[in-house]
Chains A and B, each alone.
Chain A
Amino acid sequence: MSARRPYIRPMARWYLRDPFFIEYMAHEGTAVFVWLFALELLAGLVCLALGEAAWNGFLAWLDWLPAQIANGLVLLMLLYHGITWFLILPRTIPPVRIGHARLPGWVLSAAGMMAMIAASAVLATGAWLLARGGL
């Protein structure tokens, strides 16, 4: 009779085992805040469609201090989500080559983050111009 009795270790609370897993859970968890922000945007759109009173109600919500604090928190979480998303980008896309040279991962991450900052700046400038009534 074989004395073999392979032991399988449990996986309970695996996400707390290594700082790498804790960070992974944190950056994946911030996706919930992306969803919350999308819900808020959707609510704004529905209010806009419902008419002036509903829209003013939505604006009042945005002016309410607790909502502003919550939106500030959402913004921080979105920033963390965006940065970590670009950090892992080189692992998830095919290698980028210029000629025969392969671009290092940090260049891809940096380019992605620059694009994110540029797109945010364009969007913020557009919103600011709209708010002050055009150019």
Chain B
Amino acid sequence: MKPQTKTVAVLRYRPEQDKEPFWQDYEVPFAEDTSVLAALNYIKDELDGTLSFRWSCRQAICGSCGLMIGGKPRLACKTFLRDFEGKVTVEALAHFPIERDLVVVMDDFIAKLERVKPWLMPREERAPEDGEYRQTPQEMSLYEQFAGCINCGLCYAACPQVGLNPNFLGPGAIALLHRYNLDSRDGGSEERMKLISAELGVFNCTAVGYCSAVCPKIVDPANAVNVNKMNSARDYFFRFLPRPAPKGGCQ
């Protein structure tokens, strides 16, 4: 029996020869369990070895295969051909410059992640003999959800404000920042809040909320951004009031 096939339309861009991207159709055999990533690998292996795309783990944890599939930001490994009527469109992640075919330039995104200092900054350094920085399960539950981010970039492709102003810090980096600011072992909140309240910080967000809707790990970056609008306003209006003792691994 001849296998079922589906048309996969891929937005191609080869900078050395194309002035702008163009759509190219491929006929791909598929079964119930054929993911879009499997389809792309079939195209690369059997039909057209010149197609470029990023992938690694095939199990929604490496965050490499984020693409616009059917016009929406999705992970190719977690999206299946069976869920699409007719042609499936596959395009590089929106709001990122296209390097080649489905590969985007992520330098700016990575720089934003670095800028939020995504590591624990204890208020007082401890020597190993002083023991570890302890944390209760309740303290961990405050930030656990935001620690699930896999840096796939889908939230940036979902955020029109990122598209309109690429300098906006953006949902993923702010969610990561929020994760560390909520951590009882961290003492760097004050430093990170400067980024939150800056011109390119949270107030660029207009609460579209699509970033959270597309997040494959249910991180809810929109919540991180909007809660920090309140935190920033609180820091401004109540700056003369006594502040609670800073956290940061010193208890």
Question: Which residues of A line the B interface, CB within 8 A?
Answer: 3-9, 11, 14-15, 17-18, 20-21, 24, 28, 88, 90-95, 100, 102
Contact = CB atoms under 8 A, between A and B. Distances in A.
A95 B99 contact: no
Contact of B71 (A5, A18, A102): A18
B62 interface: no
Nearest to B222: A91
B111 interface: no
Interface in B1-36: 13, 15-16, 20-21
Contacts of B20: 7
A3 B207 contact: no
B94 A9 contact: yes
Contacts of B151: none
B213 A4 contact: no
B223 A91 contact: yes
A5 B15 contact: yes
A18 B15 contact: no
A15 B160 contact: yes
B163 A7 contact: no
Nearest to B142: A95
Interface residues of B, number: 30
Interface string B26-55: 000000000000000000000000000000
Given A6-B105, A7-B97, A94 B230 contact: yes
B203 interface: no
A6 B21 CA distance: 11
Interface of B: 13, 15-16, 20-21, 71-72, 94, 97-99, 105, 138, 141, 160, 163-164, 206-210, 212-213, 220, 222-223, 226-227, 230
Contacts of B94: 9
Contact of B208 (A5, A21, A93, A102): A21
A24 B21 contact: no
A100 B223 CA distance: 19
A117 to B, nearest CB: 23
A91 B214 CA distance: 13
A4 B99 contact: yes
A93 B227 CA distance: 6
A89 to B, nearest CB: 10
A22 to B, nearest CB: 11
A98 to B, nearest CB: 13
B160 A7 contact: no
Contacts of B220: 91
Given A6-B105, A18-B210, A91-B207, A11 B163 contact: yes
Given A11-B163, A100-B141, A6 B97 contact: yes
B208 A92 contact: no
Given A7-B20, A92-B226, A18 B72 contact: yes
